[in-house]
Chain A
């Protein structure tokens, strides 16, 4: 087993824990659970495509980005409070997927390429929503505070990792650099899972019926 397998196991345990409370807790919890399960499945299938079917997994990244964008947009739509914030979330939730999908309809070849524009457009709004949620948390307790921290930290790091990964592969930089990047990515994922585990513990074992 390599380090990615351990990552999958950790993620699977996390999913099981979140599934336990699936029917007990509210809408936000359900959306978040679906998000982490979806991300695990997409990641798992993508990493085994070559092994199973001899297919390159580069196109799975589009599913990952789009799925993450849509699910986390819904997630933050249930958490954010002001009309302005919600308006931003819903407008982008409609416009961005239309824009990204229309690119592939116009030029299907793009579907088999890694798109930096897509990574950028699908991640930055989530980082903005996450920051808005952090801002809302000032002076009052809001739900999913720690999960939000995990998402923010991971997206901050992973966006740069993917962009640099692309740059390195273009420059044909030696293997150790790529390995370093993937090590940072794995570490960031563990940190993210740490936050998600703690969030689950707070939700599942809290006594006053409130999320933290």
Chain B
């Protein structure tokens, strides 16, 4: 009788032991799960931030590269269009000092100097205009874009249409240049790479969100390929849109033109 009770008690203790063991094991599994999950979630956050930083660095480096390239271009322009002409002016001025010059020669040299100085002046105006169109500063973005569109239309190779329902006058002046440069880059790309013949630029506003839709009918490219997204021009556009506090979508397929929509605050 006592033996039976002992065996039953042992079985009972056994059952209680396994219940306890199961409780402890599952509790341990849960604790370990939460511990490792927390670590992993933090790691995921860190990775995400690192990726963002990496992206920002890339944008910054593209801004610096563009700046250097722009400097190179300006240096080249100054050298080719102004320095060379001023050199000849200086040479001609020295020629004027030559003794025994007759009147015809003097006149010829003077005319040369006047002509060259005018050309140099014209070139310096053009360079300054390229750097920052005066109309943008004087009359604002709307007029600036109108002038830009007119310039492109005057080449007769492309027809650019421009519609705007945004009042840019109330828009911060420092942001005008960003939008202007984005459009300049897009137009240049459409013409140079896309060989587009028709381009449409449209500015609309909806609930405090300003949107620009840019469409061309050029050659286009595969916008899903990563290689095409890493061009310097696109990076510059992206960083300018970042400055404007907006975002953008870009779609293009070979022979289907490009469509870019970006918004800004």
Chain A residues packing against B (C-beta within 8 Å): 116-117, 119-120, 124, 127-128, 131, 134-135, 138-139, 156, 159-160, 163-164, 166-167, 170-171
Contact = CB atoms under 8 A, between A and B. Distances in A.
13 contacts: A117-B18, A119-B18, A124-B25, A124-B29, A127-B29, A134-B33, A135-B36, A138-B37, A138-B41, A156-B26, A160-B19, A167-B12, A170-B12
A171 B32 CA distance: 34
A87 B12 CA distance: 36
A116 B14 contact: yes
Interface in B1-40: 8, 11-12, 14-16, 18-19, 21-23, 25-26, 29-30, 32-33, 36-37, 40
What are the nearest 10 A-B pairs in CB distance? Answer: A139-B44, A116-B18, A167-B15, A163-B19, A131-B33, A138-B40, A166-B15, A124-B25, A170-B12, A131-B29
B41 A170 contact: no
A120 B22 contact: yes
Given A116-B14, A138-B44, A167 B19 contact: yes
Given A135-B36, A138-B41, A139-B44, A167 B16 contact: yes
A163 B41 contact: no
B11 A170 contact: yes
Given A139-B44, A170-B8, A163 B18 contact: yes
A124 B22 contact: yes
Nearest to B20: A163
B19 A164 contact: yes
B29 A163 contact: no
Interface string B236-263: 0000000000000000000000000000
Given A159-B26, A170-B8, 11 more contacts: A124-B22, A124-B29, A131-B29, A131-B32, A135-B36, A138-B41, A138-B44, A156-B26, A167-B15, A167-B16, A167-B19
B40 A139 contact: yes
Interface of B: 8, 11-12, 14-16, 18-19, 21-23, 25-26, 29-30, 32-33, 36-37, 40-41, 44
Contacts of B30: 131
Which of A119, A139, A164 has the most C-beta atoms of chain B within 10 angstroms of its own C-beta? Answer: A139
A164 B19 CA distance: 7
B93 to A, nearest CB: 73
B265 to A, nearest CB: 31
Contacts of B36: 135
A117 B15 CA distance: 9
A135 B30 CA distance: 11
Nearest to A117: B18
A161 B244 CA distance: 61
Contacts of A127: 25-26, 29
B15 A116 contact: yes
A109 to B, nearest CB: 14
A171 B12 CA distance: 8
A160 B15 CA distance: 11
A124 B26 CA distance: 8
A138 B44 CA distance: 9
A188 to B, nearest CB: 15
B182 to A, nearest CB: 34
B29 to A, nearest CB: 5
Nearest to A138: B40
A127 B30 CA distance: 10
Contacts of B14: 116
Contact of B22 (A128, A134, A163, A171): A163
Given A131-B33, A170-B8, A120 B40 contact: no
A124 B28 CA distance: 11
Contacts of B37: 135, 138
A128 B29 contact: yes
A139 B37 CA distance: 10
Contacts of B26: 124, 127, 156, 159
A128 B16 CA distance: 22
